[in-house]
Structure 1
Amino acid sequence: MRIIEPVEITPALAVMEAFLVQPSAEPLVVQVGQAFQVASLLTNVPEADHPVWLSTKSYAVGDVVMLEHRNYEALVANTNKNPAGVGADPPNWLDLGPTNRWRMFDDKIGTQTTNPESIELTIAPGRAVDSLAFFGLDAASIYVRVVDPYQGIVYESSVSPVSTDGINDWYDYFFTPVEVNEDFVLLGVPAGSYGSIEINIAKPGGTARVGALILGKAAVLGEALYGTSVGITDYSRKDRDDFGNVVIVERGYSKRAEFDVIVQTSQVSQVQRLLSKYRAKPLVWIGEASYQSTILYGYYKEFNLVISGPTASDCSISVEGLI
């Protein structure tokens, strides 16, 4: 049983070119003239969802503009009414959420970043990262490369998130519909603070999609046990009219899990402190990396630690995923 604390990635990290670190700089001492990046992001996903808002332009109802990496729709005809300004009553603009480039970093799974063929990123997180998690994924392959400024390439991995569940023989191999693991984690990446992580989410001939991309450092809580339960909470509406006909309004859903975990008794206090620290922060929860159903991105509702023996203790954690 592992958790991953996400590294915060915001538009402020969108540095579009490398900068130089001088030999006298501390604590980053590198060769003279060596290109170096810290806490920056490069991507091939354009930020051109809609025209940029202009204070001098008149907008009609329904016009959509882009400002400060978010999209806004005009609710009333207006001029020089900043969409990101102090809210008016009634409002002039409707906040539609982040632009396509930044949807994968908005702490939501249902809002996807999309791009034809591939989504490519180069991220220098500026802190230790040893795990990656992908949610709401639609891709044929994922390529990850870690480049250290001192040692060069220290890690390369190319994996396919295609599910092999239910494929037991050659007939199943050829005739079972291809399904992609929408939730996928990559563990064991060499941890480093100052290198860059290159990610390529590829779908040749189609549109690559990812709802949430999480980078962080994993922490072990214990060992998840059989008896863990998983499921979803559906937020769709299912009503009947006066004639008994069912009217369904499809909405989002979130994953949930009840983890049964065995914890070393000597680590009980540490686990309690760790979970208390993250009581109001979304984390990646991994019961077993090979089981997609036990990978969630969300909050825990409650946890209970039972000191049941001198060497091993029982823990139950209730987790609710984000939509």
Structure 2
Amino acid sequence: MMRVLPSLTVTPAMLLSTTVAVEDPSPVWAAATAWLKDDLCHRVETHLVYRRITAGTTATAPELDADNWKAIRPTNKWAMFDHLRSTQTTVSGGPLTVVVQPGQRADSLGLLNLVGSRALIQVHQGDTLITEREQSLIQHSAQNWYEYFTGDPEQRPSLVLWDLPPFRDAKITVTIEPASGVASCGRLSVGMGVQVGEVEWEPENDALNFSRIEREFDGTLTPDVTLIARRSVPKANLRVRIDAGNVPRMLKLREQLNAVPALWAGWTRYPNSPYAEAFLLYGIYRRFPIRPSNKLYAAADLEIEEM
């Protein structure tokens, strides 16, 4: 079963508490500071870290001074709420705990690019604990007994829950216990999940590779060639069988998610399947055609690209 989570934007008012002690390790921007080229600073007002383009002192805040500053990443405190799972919120020496109150119904929660030993999810209504989920984040992917006894445990990279109690005033507490002293989360998504349909066999997982290699006209490598490693962006192509009665909802969803990132999960019926992680993407759809197959079902060919 494929589901999608159109995520709420977590605002400072929704983030009730966090164990991230400071906004970011970089210094806070100050107008009187004499900055060197490539110095970093952050602004609490924008939750962004900036790099200095030219040395000097300027009284204009970085977000308004594109000639001297460039935004390069979110602050550590807010990295888990931006659109890139590769930017992590990290706590050293203790658990990463955040308490979020969406202020509206939310029955689904997604945690991506995790580092930790255990995840604990709690939902409170007032002071009353409504539900609690605990999940180990350490897993074994051994293919045989030899690998089981000799291989190292692996980090479980993600955790998604689709059945949280959807109270409007719920407070959701997420705790990531550290592994080797570090706890991290690359993306927290929360909101109301939407059921899309059943994924048919032979979906495709691929990646857009932006790395570069230079060759001569005959295909040989250029002298002293340097392979420039750049980001590889995951993507997926899936054919989904949609109930006919669900088609009007999918048309609205397609319009709602036009250029809007969401958490797409193709293997929610079997979350522990070895295929599940390959079809869990936080990104946008590139194609979403819907074709009626018969009176009962329609087929949708989804192309999803990670942010």
**TM-score past 0.5 threshold:** yes
SS at 1:51's partner residue?
A: coil
Q: 1:154 to 1:277 in 2, by over 3 A?
A: same
1:77 aligns with 2:55: yes
Aligned to 2:107: 130
CA distance in 2, matches of 1:246, 1:295: 35
Aligned to 2:159: 184
CA offsets, 1:179-232, max 9 Å, x none? Answer: 223233122111111121111112243322221111111000111121211122
Q: 1:264 to 1:85 in 2, by over 3 A?
A: closer
Which amino acid counterpart does residue 134 of structure 1 have in structure 2?
A: L
- Deviates most, 244-253 or 99-108: 244-253
Shift in Å at residue 266 of structure 1? 2.1
Q: Which runs of 5+ in 1 are unaligned?
A: 14-38
SS at 1:103's partner residue?
A: helix
Q: 1:236 to 1:181 in 2, by over 3 A?
A: farther
Aligned to 1:249: 228
Q: CA RMSD in A?
A: 2.1
- Deviates most, 106-115 or 64-73: 64-73
TM-score, normalised relative to structure 2: 0.87
TM-score, normalised relative to structure 1: 0.83
SS at 1:102's partner residue?
A: helix
Q: Percent identity?
A: 26
Shift in Å at residue 143 of structure 1? 0.7
SS at 2:254's partner residue?
A: helix
Q: Is the 8 A contact 2:108 2:162 kept in 1?
A: yes
Aligned to 1:216: 191
Aligned to 1:141: 118
CA offsets, 1:111-166, max 9 Å, x none? Answer: 1111114211011111111111122222221110111127x11111110233443x
1:64 aligns with 2:49: no
SS at 1:231's partner residue?
A: strand
Q: 1:145 to 1:105 in 2, by over 3 A?
A: same
Q: Is the 8 A contact 1:83 1:92 kept in 2?
A: no
SS at 2:62's partner residue?
A: coil
Q: Which runs of 5+ in 2 are unaligned?
A: none
Q: 1:85 to 1:122 in 2, by over 3 A?
A: closer
1:235 to 189, 210, 215: 210
